[in-house]
Structure 1
């Protein structure tokens, strides 16, 4: 844990200028399977901000950034997506020195509830980025005896297949969620088993917004009509990857690595009893 952070940080960092459009930013994220991108000054290389998939979701209809579409562009989605990313990026970016230790990074991430930190040199130029995933996967072998039930969150936000995408976006943004299990059961909700039917992630939603079909379905320039009529069942992953309460942290991290995912439902008899994510594993790492 006292090792230098550059040992596990990604050094070939893809960053974007503040003038890049929101639409093109989302494309870069999907092409490289990134959940966040540093925004840097093209001349100096200094970090100006960071944009995440949650910022994009917020903009597409989940939160306050949707006001750009509704108010500034009178619900004209096609015009709004060409806004520069500076309009939705987070400007108060916490950066760490390239001399920081892994322990320093874990501390800052957990204290501020953030999933990635840009790494800068003495001149404040971007030289790397480290994520929860980098730390979780590099140290998971040291906590192999602990299980999902030791660190999973038992308070799980779920929704049903008929939920409009617009509502799913709002649930995710308002609660800081990157994924929502989709559940269902009997018609009588009081007796429903709430069995897991699938899962929708923030990445699934951004991919949907990037798809040609999304634009083909725009009968006008208003995105709200598509957001309201498209259901989560239309885009959810039906064969969701799951774990059981007794699975070890080491096994879960290996699953994360192989499947390139950052969180999974914890299931018993097809019913969701919890969820475990890279951040939960970070908490386990903190106790090493």
Structure 2
């Protein structure tokens, strides 16, 4: 086995992990979770119990699903964070990066808790793997080698409720929005809905001037749910207009750099200046998971 290949395979979780950003299980609400995700510009929080042990994890996708399904009269600062928390999968700090990536792909998760002496002391995310690939593996693969040659799309005129429902159904973290001529105009992610959730999710009424099926002032019976403001808010009101893209012939590190610098989970892929697919942090993680001794740089 080549020495450089052996080195890239033997890098361990401890070499890439970050100190976790946490929230307390007993005293935090959905509002606190969203606020911290936005302020720290991250996609997940680890949850601590009263003894400061890590007992769970909350991802932005979990928050999106919770907001979609919440149809009660509770405000977001009245919903305990524990209702959204999930168990955290952890690994020993010595586990190699390839096995960590493989575990993320196999379990369809975006992060791993990293344990030292059986106690979680760090977190390893797909972002860490993408940054590692960017710093160490120029020339290994092209964008076309790992990209997803398709993408989930919707209409700019669809409601936020319909768009988020489709994202969860298709198990994607982003959806490309097209105008009436079928031209991609923007992208919507879970992060885009958090700001309006912070505003409307604490109000007792929703003021609506856009959707004919809902009165101009209606009770807030949910958030992005069909009965809440998600059905009264159109996707183009909250979408990000700029679709960050790379060419299919670019080195994969170009896509990694675009994701890291723009703090996004995926970029569009162009072929002859036409959007033909997506390359995401999951695609890069899959590339790392599939490394073998026969890879060349």
TM-score by length of 2: 0.83
Which residue does the alignment assign to 1:222?
221
Corresponding residue of 2:17: 9
Answer yes or no: is the 8 Å Cα contact 2:11–2:97 preserved in 1: yes
2:39 maps to 1:39: no
**1:127 pairs with one of 106, 121, 128:** 121
Q: Is the 8 A contact 2:246 2:254 kept in 1?
A: no
Task: Note the C-alpha offset of 1:156.
Answer: 1.4
Select the residue among 248, 257, 261 that pairs with 2:260: 257
Contact 2:155 2:180 in 1 (8 A): no
Give RMSD over aligned pairs: 2.1
Larger % of strand: which? Answer: 2
> Does residue 287 in structure 1 map to residue 290 in structure 2?
yes
Answering whether residue 83 of structure 2 is matched by residue 90 of structure 1, we say no
Alignment partners' CA distance in 1, 2:93 and 2:150: 36
- Deviation digits for residues 84-104 of structure 1, max 9, x if unmatched? 11112113x211112222222
C-alpha distance in 2 between matches for 1:145 and 1:4: 20
Change (3 A) 1:270 1:217: farther
After TM superposition, list the pairs within 5 Å mapping 1:1-288 onto structure 2. 1-11=9-19, 13-19=20-26, 20-43=28-51, 45-61=52-68, 66=69, 69-70=70-71, 75-78=72-75, 81-91=77-87, 93-122=88-117, 124-140=118-134, 141-186=136-181, 194-211=182-199, 215=203, 217=206, 219=217, 220-223=219-222, 224-268=227-271, 271-288=274-291
Q: Distance in 1 between matches of 2:194 and 2:201?
A: 13
C-alpha distance 14-125 of structure 1, shift in aligned 2 (>3 A): same
Q: Distance in 1 between matches of 2:130 and 2:16?
A: 11
Q: Could you tell me how far 1:270 is from its partner in structure 2?
A: 5.5
Kindly indicate whether the alpha-carbon contact (under 8 Å) linking 2:102 and 2:286 is maintained by their aligned counterparts in 1.
no
Shift of 1:118: 1.1
8 Å contact 2:174–2:190 — kept in the other structure? yes
Q: Is the 8 A contact 1:41 1:47 kept in 2?
A: yes
Q: Distance in 2 between matches of 1:102 and 1:268?
A: 31
Give CA deviations for 1:195-239 in whole Å, capped at 9, x if unaligned.
211111111112331246984745423233411110010011112
Shift of 1:271: 3.9
The structural deviation recorded for 1:248 is: 1.5
Please say if residues 12 and 96 of structure 2, whose CA atoms lie closer than 8 Å, have aligned partners that are also in contact.
yes
**After superposition, what is the alpha-carbon deviation per residue over 1:37-57, rounded to whole angstroms, capped at 9, x for unaligned?**
1112221x3322111111111
| Runs (4+) off by over 3 Å | 211-219, 268-271
Bigger helix share = 1
- Once residues 211 and 272 of structure 1 are traced to their aligned partners in structure 2, the CA distance between those partners, rounded to angstroms, is 33
Task: State the alpha-carbon separation in 2 of the partners of residues 252 and 170 from structure 1.
Answer: 27
Q: Distance in 2 between matches of 1:240 and 1:267?
A: 11
Q: Give 1:262 deviation, angstroms.
A: 1.6
Q: For residue 247 of structure 2, give the secondary structure of its aligned residue in structure 1.
A: coil
